[in-house]
Amino acid sequence: MTESSILIVEDEPDIAELIRFHVSREGYAARAIGSGRLALEEIDRRPPMLVILDLMLPDVDGLEVCRQLKWKQQTRSIPILIVSAKGEESDIVTGLELGADDYVTKPFSPKVLVARLKNILRRQNEDGDPKSNRYVLAGGDLILDVDRHHVTIRGDVVDFTPTEFGILKCLATRPGFVRTRDQIIASVHGEHTVLSSRTVDVHVTTIRRKLGDLEAMIQTVRGVGYRLGTMFAKTAPSK
């Protein structure tokens, strides 16, 4: 992976340059490509640390780019920030369901875009609280390793996006306590982030699917939010 590299996939040159300018000001090496097909080829050659992805591309559309990146083992861990004029809730939900880590609608504030980007990278590289860097759940069947950003289910490492990992960690910090959707969004994306509560529901559905027969550990509290069942004890061994 190229150190501090951001790949911008945007077919409108003015917008691509605007994004590149503001991302570069934050110290990231940013490059832009205006084609979904060429972006996939470039990512295979030089995987970036994050992809900023438009959806309405002239050849391979952004959703297909996202789908292919999350399907392949070698690229599925690359964070994706969608930036698109398609701002309907259904569009946002579709992007998140395919594995995107965040979604910004056009027109956008460059400051907000950069803040979202930095937040994704912060979550991905988070070292975590040294006193709670590892959560052992469900009698050891499920382990969250914050330092390595790993989720292990019965000995097998399962891929979770930074957002999915953040939600699971948010619930694991206080088993038995209900977290509202707004609290979950604030924990994962920051206090000033405004997202539809539907996005949390979409991510929780995906998390449950990845947990397999452990899905029942995430309990829905109707009209409020979610909690981790108290039967799933947490331990946080010292380093």
pLDDT tens digits for 26-50?
Answer: 888 899 999 999 999 999 988 898 9
* Parallel/antiparallel/unpaired status of strands 142-145 and 150-153: antiparallel
Per the document, the length of the chain is: 239
**Domains along the chain?**
5-124 (3.40.50.2300), 134-228 (1.10.10.10)
Could you tell me which residue, 232 or 113, shows the higher pLDDT?
113
pLDDT at 104 over 60: yes
**pLDDT, average across residues 82-94:** 86
Say if CB 105 and CB 201 are below 8 A apart. no
Query: What global pTM score does this model have?
Result: 0.59
pLDDT tens digits for 122-163?
Answer: 776 653 343 447 787 887 788 888 877 888 898 888 989 888
Average pLDDT, the chain: 84
Q: What is the pLDDT of residue 232?
A: 52
**pLDDT, average across residues 216-239:** 71
Q: What is the pLDDT of residue 124?
A: 67
Could you tell me which residue, 130 or 180, shows the higher pLDDT?
180
Q: What is the pLDDT of residue 157?
A: 87
Angle between helices 110-124 and 13-25 (to 10 degrees): 60
**pLDDT, average across residues 65-79:** 87
Q: What is the pLDDT of residue 235?
A: 46
β strands within 21-111, DSSP E: 29-33, 50-53, 80-84, 102-105
**Alpha carbon separation from 11 to 90, 108, 131, 210, 212 (Å, rounded):** 23, 16, 46, 34, 39
pLDDT tens digits for 6-16?
Answer: 999 999 999 99
